[in-house]
Chains A and B, each alone.
Chain A
Amino acid sequence: MNGLPILSIITFAPLVAALVVLLLNNERAIKTWSVVSSFVIFLLTLWLWFAVDPKALGPGEFAFLEEYSWIPAINVFYRMGVDGLSVPLITLTGLLTFLSIFYSTYVINHRVKEYFFLFLFLEVGMFGVFTSLDYFLFYVFWEIGLVPMYFLIGIWGGPRREYAAIKFFIYTLAGSVLMLLAILGLYFSTGTFDLTALPGQELFGGNFVLKSLAFWGIFLAFAIKVPMWPFHTWLPDAHVEAPTAGSVILAGILLKLGGYGFLRILMPIFPDVFNAYWPVVAVLAVISIVYGALVAMAQWDLKKLIAYSSVNHMGYAMLGIAAAAATLNSSDPAVLDSRAIAVNGAIFQFIAHGLITGALFFLVGVIYERAHTRDLKAFGGLGAVVPKYYAFMAAATFASLGLPGLAGFVSEFMVFRGAFALIPYIAAIGVLGIVLTAAMYLWKIIQMVFLGPLNEKWKDLPDMHWWEIATLTPLVILFTLFGVYPKPILDYVNAGVVALLDLMS
């Protein structure tokens, strides 16, 4: 621990920015400040990417480690650190938050001060989860993220926003509190909350029943967040009713908090239990894939379709994680290889999905702002009217269905490459999802919205504004770039994954 506590600075910078927002009264000033400060924060996260060399970190080692005693009476430390697993997600958070805030400045015009305060405050929670290395601190940041999202959905959301907001809050909270009991149980049996020390400790004196109870408690919290079937029912309402930028953050980052939890906490601390119960996780992942795709395909509301597609996409990531869990007890080099590939695929999927689905939700926002409807049946033939929009939407949907050359393909390929080697039969069912999503996107979105006869109502629909293009371009560039040249990302992530998996063997 040396020099500036850079992680604390990154985590709490949005809070400082949010407090400044409270002091400002002019709408323009608030918007300008929010954009500038979130951009600076993004640059900080980008710097973090280059400042951390994950290959230099061994198993269980973290960069920019900060450790201060916080509550000695219960052995709680304020402990932060990053590795190859968390830095990409932190940078993604910085990017998506900046783009969301930028987009929002043109779209949000009532209760501006509260909106940007809440949005910046939300960023604190997200950063905190990714940087925390103390389970107590992790939990605090995990819960902090819930409250601003509740308000964001409830105040600036769609017609059923109040219902969606409280449903989101209570559903997620229910999982979290069960996780709290598990955390307390872990502390009781090991005497520490230290996430760097818990992996490898003997828990509950080896009592498998208690370990399973704790495992399922934590599993529930993360499975609800991811979301895995059947704990996904909060997602359609929350995503659909949230304001555009809120949906972007929900899908782009908040879902990844769950996935991150699986990799950072559940797998390292409970390797034997995870290994014992891997079929459950794998089956739920595959059901998420297929069910998510089927239900998405049945939707006529564009936003709801994309929301369900998130269930489908996160299912791929969870499949990779489940495949890794299935083989935690093996030390065959080929298995180790496939395992690493599967987990790499999962994390890459986090990043890719964040970029792609983020872009998709922005695009939904674009059309909704103009047409005030998201009903797919109402559109048709827009390809000629709004060519730029068509181009962006096509790029995003192709990326989402996993077209080679775009980021979605890389992650899905890696997940299946790993999963087929480890859990072939289950993986085979999962592939079905890819076919279904292709059908879904090509038919529902591309054909119904852009091809076919033009619905006269939309004859004069304006094409994308400069600021919408500015918001989407970075995302499109990134997911194309990573699809064609994923190496820098993969190398980075891989170093982290290898260290993580080494920790467990």
Chain B
Amino acid sequence: MQINWADTSFLLAPEILLTVGALIVLVLDLLIEDDTSPVLPGFTLLALVSAFGAAAAHLVTGVDDVALFMFAADPLTHFFRLLGIGTALLVLLVSVNYVQARSKHTGEFYSLLLWVTLAVVLVAGAHDLILLYLAFEFLSITSYVLVGWLRDDARSNEGAMKYLLFGAISSALMLYGMSLLYGATGTTRLTEIAAFFTIPETQITGLYSIVVPALVFLLAGIGFKISLVPFHQWAPDAYEGAPTPVAAFLSVGSKSAGFAVLARVLLEAMPAFQEHWTSLLVVLSILTMTLGNLVALRQTNMKRLLAYSSIAQAGYILMGLAAYSAGATFPADGLSGVLIYLVAYLFTNVGVFIGAVIFEQATGSVAISDYAGLIRRSPWLAFTFVVFFLSLAGLPPTAGFVGKLAVFYATVAKGLYFLAIIGVLNSVVSVYYYFNVIRQMFFMPAPEGAERVRMPASMGLALAISFVGTLLIGFYPEPFLNLANMSRDFISALPLL
């Protein structure tokens, strides 16, 4: 049971880069007096880019192995690495100006950003329940701090507090479920759990009565992270109170991590129980989509609107998992739908948050009514908002359409017609509140004396990247579909323990 350090360093290269980067940023922060110096964000950027490069290299060369007995560096992990680090890159670009204007703790912010990215990656690759739990906790705690980072803002504190309390209970539930699962199978390793259920002697009713509660608890814990209904209560306050770039990361990065966990736990560890968790997921998906969309209809605060919109989006993504068919041709298998949707969601949702950050930075407001006449004050910003909202609603030719297409296709292919119809009707409902914002921007006259909305260079760059990505995936989805197709494989080679 010797650890091969060379192999391990190679397999864990992105993670090591992120960790070392975060530690160095903390130290640099002590050494550098000037809070507005570009060294810290520059170094963070360097760390993220190098980690991204390492992850991309892994993907391209088809690395498929287990590191340190617990971390699966398989295609699925590569995908989520790229997703998580990509999110962090965009969020970093947009947070530089934002963070400097609001607090002196900029160094901590950048290192926390690196930590939270590391957490996302670790969660996605965790192949053992213990590592899964710890990585999940890591993600949660880092997120609590990031949400509460605006110390003098009461809403930030409130958001962090709610997030913390909810998170603590959810993780306790999740751990309880994991312990039940361990008790039932005698192992914490995902593939061994799956193997346990396939042994003929173990098909006894006694198993079901432990595993199903375990499943429910696990779903509760993971559902909290993904903000599924009814575990979503923390999300609106946390998103509203958090610094907007952090909300952007939460909505995409930690949701992706949650879906990665869900995919691993359900598809890798418990395929034997598919009938049980499919119906659970269908119900959760319907609840999440519907409640998220219905409550979003009444929001007047941009960040809360985006929070509920993100909740509803989680419902759509969940449809892909509910419609999972192992071995079905691409993209009917459902998991690829989830992956495609997440890529599309990355560009779209981060994009719309970037727009909100730009507006908030220039005007100090997050009220939707203050967006009136944006087409006059910043035509390009307004135009990008239109594209992002169309993508969120799932209209062609945008990335969101491709994502929804993949997920709905899997649902139809599996025969879950009721779920599919609810899903598309929810998309229609969502158009109402997205277009309400567009209405403010385009139909309403700009208020007296409103100046043009200024856009700092880094934020503009991030906005441009998101915008191009959203349209690119919509017009030319082929490479992204192939990426999702490649990433569907879980760990295939298991070294002996």
Direct chain A–B contact by Cβ atoms under 8 Å: yes
| Bound CA–CA A187/B425 (angstroms) | 21
13 sampled A-B residue pairs with Cβ under 8 A: A73-B331, A73-B477, A73-B485, A140-B401, A143-B401, A146-B395, A162-B439, A173-B428, A181-B421, A184-B409, A184-B412, A184-B413, A213-B417
| Bound CA–CA A139/B424 (angstroms) | 15
A74 CB within 8 Å of chain B: yes
Contact residues in A for B401 (Cβ distance below 8 Å)? 140, 143
> Which A residues lie at the B interface, using CB under 8 A?
70-74, 114, 139-140, 143-144, 146-147, 150-151, 154-155, 161-162, 166, 169-170, 173-174, 177-178, 180-181, 184-185, 187-188, 213
Tell which of A72, A154, A173, A178 touches B478, judged by Cβ atoms closer than 8 Å.
A72
Contact residues in A for B405 (Cβ distance below 8 Å)? 180, 184
Contact residues in A for B427 (Cβ distance below 8 Å)? 177
Contact A181 B397 (CB under 8 A): no
B482 CB within 8 Å of chain A: yes
Contact B395 A166 (CB under 8 A): no
Beyond the given pairs A74-B481, A178-B421, A181-B424, 19 more chain A to chain B contacts, judged by CB atoms under 8 angstroms and listed by A's residue number, are: A71-B481, A73-B477, A73-B481, A73-B482, A140-B396, A143-B396, A143-B401, A144-B396, A154-B439, A154-B443, A155-B442, A166-B439, A169-B431, A170-B428, A173-B395, A173-B428, A174-B425, A181-B412, A213-B417
User: Residue of B at shortest CB range from A177?
Assistant: B424
Tell which of A72, A161, A166, A187 touches B409, judged by Cβ atoms closer than 8 Å.
A187
> How far is the CB of A236 from the nearest CB of chain B, in Å?
20
Contact residues in B for A73 (Cβ distance below 8 Å)? 330-331, 477-478, 481-482, 485
Contact residues in B for A70 (Cβ distance below 8 Å)? 478
Contact of A174 with B412 at beta-carbon distance under 8 Å, contacts A155-B443, A184-B405, A188-B332 already known: no
Number of A-B contacts (CB under 8 A): 79
> How far is the CB of A184 from the nearest CB of chain B, in Å?
5
Describe B's contact surface by its main secondary structure: helix
User: Residue of B at shortest CB range from A214?
Assistant: B412
> How far is the CB of B420 from the nearest CB of chain A, in Å?
5
Contact of A147 with B428 at beta-carbon distance under 8 Å, contacts A71-B477, A178-B421, A180-B408 already known: no
| Bound CA–CA A213/B418 (angstroms) | 12
> How far is the CB of B413 from the nearest CB of chain A, in Å?
5
Contact A188 B478 (CB under 8 A): no
Contact residues in A for B428 (Cβ distance below 8 Å)? 170, 173-174, 177
Q: Which 7 residue pairs are nearest across A and B when measured between Cβ atoms?
A: A177-B424, A73-B481, A140-B396, A184-B412, A184-B409, A174-B428, A188-B413
Contact residues in A for B425 (Cβ distance below 8 Å)? 174, 177
Contact residues in B for A151 (Cβ distance below 8 Å)? 442
Describe A's contact surface by its main secondary structure: helix
Contact residues in B for A180 (Cβ distance below 8 Å)? 405, 408, 424
> How far is the CB of B368 from the nearest CB of chain A, in Å?
15
Contact residues in B for A181 (Cβ distance below 8 Å)? 408, 412, 417, 420-421, 424
| Bound CA–CA A471/B208 (angstroms) | 75
> How far is the CB of A215 from the nearest CB of chain B, in Å?
14
Contact of A173 with B481 at beta-carbon distance under 8 Å, contacts A140-B396, A184-B405, A188-B413 already known: no
Contact of A147 with B390 at beta-carbon distance under 8 Å, contacts A74-B331, A173-B431, A181-B420 already known: yes
B435 CB within 8 Å of chain A: yes
B432 CB within 8 Å of chain A: yes
User: Residue of A at shortest CB range from B436?
Assistant: A166
B 380-415 binary contact with A (CB < 8 Å = 1; else 0): 000000100010001111000100010011001100
Contact A71 B431 (CB under 8 A): no
> How far is the CB of B79 from the nearest CB of chain A, in Å?
16
Give the number of chain B interface residues (Cβ < 8 Å): 34
> How far is the CB of B339 from the nearest CB of chain A, in Å?
13
> How far is the CB of B419 from the nearest CB of chain A, in Å?
11
Contact A147 B395 (CB under 8 A): yes
Contact residues in B for A72 (Cβ distance below 8 Å)? 478
> How far is the CB of A129 from the nearest CB of chain B, in Å?
12
Contact residues in A for B421 (Cβ distance below 8 Å)? 178, 181
From B390, B425, B439, B481, residue with most partner A Cβ within 10 Å = B439
> How far is the CB of A472 from the nearest CB of chain B, in Å?
31
Contact A184 B481 (CB under 8 A): no
User: Residue of A at shortest CB range from B484?
Assistant: A73
User: Residue of A at shortest CB range from B329?
Assistant: A191
Contact residues in B for A150 (Cβ distance below 8 Å)? 435
User: Residue of B at shortest CB range from A182?
Assistant: B412
| Bound CA–CA A162/B436 (angstroms) | 10
Contact residues in A for B485 (Cβ distance below 8 Å)? 73
| Bound CA–CA A173/B394 (angstroms) | 11
Contact residues in B for A173 (Cβ distance below 8 Å)? 395, 428, 431
> How far is the CB of A97 from the nearest CB of chain B, in Å?
21
> How far is the CB of B476 from the nearest CB of chain A, in Å?
8
Contact residues in B for A178 (Cβ distance below 8 Å)? 421, 424
Contact residues in B for A71 (Cβ distance below 8 Å)? 477-478, 481
Contact B443 A188 (CB under 8 A): no
| Bound CA–CA A228/B146 (angstroms) | 54
Contact A166 B435 (CB under 8 A): yes
Contact residues in A for B424 (Cβ distance below 8 Å)? 177-178, 180-181
| Bound CA–CA A243/B401 (angstroms) | 30
Contact residues in A for B442 (Cβ distance below 8 Å)? 151, 154-155
| Bound CA–CA A363/B216 (angstroms) | 66
| Bound CA–CA A465/B375 (angstroms) | 34
Contact residues in B for A140 (Cβ distance below 8 Å)? 396-397, 401
> How far is the CB of A155 from the nearest CB of chain B, in Å?
6
Q: Which of B357-379 contact A (CB under 8 A)?
A: 375
Contact A144 B435 (CB under 8 A): no
Contact residues in A for B478 (Cβ distance below 8 Å)? 70-73
B 227-245 binary contact with A (CB < 8 Å = 1; else 0): 0000000000000000000
> How far is the CB of B182 from the nearest CB of chain A, in Å?
39
Contact residues in B for A177 (Cβ distance below 8 Å)? 394, 424-425, 427-428
Contact A166 B330 (CB under 8 A): no
> How far is the CB of B493 from the nearest CB of chain A, in Å?
26
User: Residue of B at shortest CB range from A150?
Assistant: B435
Contact residues in B for A187 (Cβ distance below 8 Å)? 409
User: Residue of A at shortest CB range from B383?
Assistant: A22
Contact B397 A144 (CB under 8 A): yes
| Bound CA–CA A71/B417 (angstroms) | 25
| Bound CA–CA A140/B405 (angstroms) | 12
| Bound CA–CA A181/B330 (angstroms) | 17
| Bound CA–CA A269/B156 (angstroms) | 57
User: Residue of A at shortest CB range from B414?
Assistant: A188
| Bound CA–CA A140/B412 (angstroms) | 19
| Bound CA–CA A150/B432 (angstroms) | 12
> How far is the CB of B377 from the nearest CB of chain A, in Å?
14
